[in-house]
Chain A
């Protein structure tokens, strides 16, 4: 049996629950396939549960390899979820939807122009003023006579559901800073790779042309005619819920991903803080920071995510923000009952797309209806509460009893609406536990301003099993819009092609350089720790049962060194100790912490890195999961080995980067960390404990420093402290030596654009190099009892100098000035 047939059969069984009849996306009431699926029938009906299970696993691997994540508010980022079964929409079904979405965006744009301009809708009573003035998205600093933006809405998103009749119905509009385009693009990329036959056969619209159109629309948004406008994507940072989406959009569009602190206002214009203190004017900002957080001067004063003066720059018309800072007022279910009248008034057209039935409680009839049907309607606040209001107006009333809801609504009726609970359509959705099951589905669409009209992405982002419409934490589906005929073009816009050829210039902001510097440091740290751990693990496997042998003592030395370097104390159980070092995400020095931090850095500069980097993280993750899953001791070395391979893969990716400032910063971070690691390690292992023990310790140290083979070739396997020190400290040809690392560091520092030959980092490093040259190997290796005091002193000195050097590099190259704070640090009056 095939899954689709099973699914259809199960649907035709009468249910006892009396659940509402839902429209099924695949199977018609008579058990036949829907028109949209008929063309795919031949291939689709052959799919077996085994196929879907395999596809599901493959999708997970692809998504993991690309580092696709979503973080529910207040939680750590988790993997993005994608169902193998796409939502398929036929050309005939799509056409009215497309027209309706375009009209809706046109209307929403017109409403924005009106609300921030003439306010005719309010004056003529078409919109109740409470719905606008009482909404936190109504940005008064943007409502000025001088602000006459005729295109405040460039990208509109909507969440839709199908009612029982199969009619697409808008559930909510998203205009503030719509998310999901990056996910939609990625979903398509993955699905087209795991379902190539079906994808080829389907004859569906591609979604990538939408990106070109988006790029064109953003560049065309520049206020003034600029030949090559500078466009940036403003993100709240790597810890936001949809940071992957933001980064993927930026990378796909070829525009730099920046944060508020990367931008600065001067003379009422917005500038990107470029490297070495230069400023470059920004013409267009694709905003992914909510408007209220975008300007601490005139909007929320407590925001650290914004750019002070941004509102003023917008008012002066020196920068365009997409969407405009006032667009949030459209995310407002209180508008819904009045949209048909607004459409007649502003467009002279009747509204095409139906919106879910909504009753605004600010009107007596609406209030009566909602209070009289509290168990049937969903009560929603018109906005998320402004957080500085002292009384709690929860947007989500689901946790309240009906009496409490009634009380809230009665107290502030204009702040609430009741909405029909739509019996959403269902679509087959795969889960390993239950197989293919019907799940309620919503669809997010993206509509873009293109020239003087609006056009939706021919596709979108569907989600099932969500807790609310458009819940990005749910299981997503790719959306296939079929072409009417095979040879239909994907997008028929000439302007897309003309602008797509423009090469976006890379931008290197100090914050991104900082991320790249630490990217280099964490990669090296993870690698060195893994090598040391592997060297210690081999020993412990051999000598665990013989603790008093020379090998046993050497094991203790190596494990102690590992404990000291990672800050994770030995618990007596070697296996658990090593696992903790591999898996602890909080302890600085632990491998998982280094990789987590590394990944954060990579996320911050995602727009500048090859996608291959995420594959490396993907294989690291799998090694990590395997380690958690399997308790055998050999899994430690197995997983650590694969993690080491992943760090090698990271090196491989950086080896093929453009030789720009960013790449140099990675290398500077890497060489500096190597210097730190080699001095820290030597410091812990060069004491005297007995000839046999020392020999084993030194051998494993060479192994940990990837220098065993070199040593063997050069010194014929005769390991003495002096030979190890020669190779690991002074050897100018061994890339693992301190001297080599410092020489490379010096070379890279001097090739930086800001180098003068005498910047503080360069001077510090010159002193350090001189100190190392003057260190006499014979003196260093000299013993005093069980220790080598000169060596220890030297290594400590070098280590301290390197830490100082790192600080100096941070100050010299990444600092963008003091912190942002309110005018009066301690408000008084």
Chain B
């Protein structure tokens, strides 16, 4: 499928900001199953400094600094993306899930890199609760794809999608006790369930093309940035990408922006401002428009 991804973040402040520095992960990365072209990031007001880089995990990263006083900051990322549904090696999917634990696996050449995604990270602490919940799906010897799919399905079933139930500072345990959250929370929870059992898995941030209800027009800007997880498939080049928020494997309607250990590595936009402002409002608009 071909899409034009449009992602705009707008901050407005009650007092002028004299200096604003930001780092963004909004531009989709190029992948074997994802071709990216015409990508652009614009910052308003005109930034004094703007650079595009590749971060440690190979993601596209934007750095900018605005030095003219402003009360509104607007960062807009656009890109044309042609994506295919990822395909996986059936043998890799069928191996026991225990194989996807990279620690100590000297026999698999890429295991050392996967270890980074098997350890706990700042937003995915290893909790006993997550371990116990994960054990329900990670039954000894079960094929990897089955175990992961089952975990995804249980999270989808047991947890309510509810904005406001959690905040960016919520922990995996908070989500477990509230039984509710948003896509980030479900991704973090899935990661915690897998990693407490040693399995390597990434946090993936990106976009999902939505289909309007039958008979309705597509509403521009109503989409949201999305998050899911990808599980290491030892012995193959791929990582099995699953979306616990929508109870499905990632397909050609998903656009991958960036991956890391958790949200903190790849938050779409973070920054530091110099201001006496006491209030800010944030608006995020995302549009994933099908292209002919």
Contact = CB atoms under 8 A, between A and B. Distances in A.
Interface of A: 122-123, 125, 129-130, 133-134, 140-141, 143-146, 264-268, 296-298, 301, 308-309, 312, 315, 362, 386, 388-391, 411-412, 414, 817-829
Given A268-B51, A312-B63, A133 B21 contact: no
B37 interface: no
B251 interface: no
A819 B56 contact: no
B18 A266 contact: no
B236 interface: no
B23 A297 contact: yes
A146 B53 contact: yes
Interface stretch (B76-84, B91-99, B276-284): B276-284
B112 interface: yes
Contacts of B122: 386, 388-389
B139 interface: no
Nearest to A822: B272
A129 B116 CA distance: 7
Contacts of B271: 297, 822-823
Given A265-B65, A298-B23, A122 B112 contact: yes
B106 A125 contact: yes
Contacts of A129: 112-113, 115-116
B72 interface: no
Contacts of A144: 53-56
Nearest to B122: A388
Given A266-B65, A829-B284, A133 B116 contact: yes
Of A122, A308, A391, chain B has the most CB atoms within 10 Å of the CB of A308
B48 A267 contact: yes
9 contacts: A129-B115, A141-B56, A145-B54, A312-B63, A315-B53, A817-B274, A818-B276, A822-B270, A823-B271
Interface stretch (B151-159, B166-174, B241-249): B166-174
Nearest to A131: B115
B21 A265 contact: yes
A145 B61 CA distance: 14
A289 to B, nearest CB: 16
A130 B48 contact: no
Interface string B253-292: 0000000000001000111111111111010100000000
B173 A817 contact: no
B125 A391 contact: yes
Interface residues of B, number: 58
Nearest to A140: B56
A820 B269 contact: no
B172 to A, nearest CB: 8
Contacts of B56: 140-141, 143-144
A20 to B, nearest CB: 36
Interface of A is mostly: loop
Contacts of A123: 112
B128 to A, nearest CB: 9
B19 interface: yes
Interface of B: 11, 13, 15, 17-23, 48-49, 51, 53-57, 63, 65, 67, 73, 103-104, 106, 112-113, 115-116, 119-120, 122, 125-127, 163, 167-169, 171-173, 182, 265, 269-280, 282, 284
Contact of A140 (B53, B73, B171, B265): B265
Contacts of A412: 120, 126
Given A818-B18, A824-B11, A829-B284, A301 B270 contact: yes
B272 A823 contact: yes
Contacts of A265: 21, 65
B269 A133 contact: no
B49 A818 contact: no
Contacts of A822: 270-273
A825 B65 contact: no
Residue from B65, B112, B270 whose CB has the most chain A CB atoms within 10 Å: B112
A66 to B, nearest CB: 37
Name the 4 nearest CB pairs between A and B, nearest first: A823-B271, A129-B115, A308-B272, A140-B56
A825 B273 CA distance: 9
A133 B126 contact: no
Contacts of B169: 827
A828 B120 contact: no
Contacts of A823: 11, 20, 22, 73, 269-273
A129 B20 CA distance: 36
A123 to B, nearest CB: 6
Name which of A144, A297, A412 has the most chain B CB atoms within 10 A of its CB: A297
Contacts of B13: 825
Name which of A133, A386, A819 has the most chain B CB atoms within 10 A of its CB: A133
Contacts of B112: 122-123, 125, 129
Contact of A390 (B125, B167, B276): B125
A448 B39 CA distance: 46
B275 to A, nearest CB: 5
Nearest to B196: A411
A130 B53 contact: no
Given A390-B125, A824-B11, A826-B279, A130 B106 contact: no
A824 B125 CA distance: 25
Given A145-B54, A146-B53, A309-B65, A825 B279 contact: yes
A265 B125 CA distance: 33
A267 B49 contact: yes
Nearest to A146: B53
A824 B19 contact: no
B54 A828 contact: no
Given A123-B112, A268-B51, A824-B280, A130 B103 contact: yes
Contacts of B54: 144-145
Given A312-B63, A414-B103, A389 B282 contact: no
A391 B277 CA distance: 34
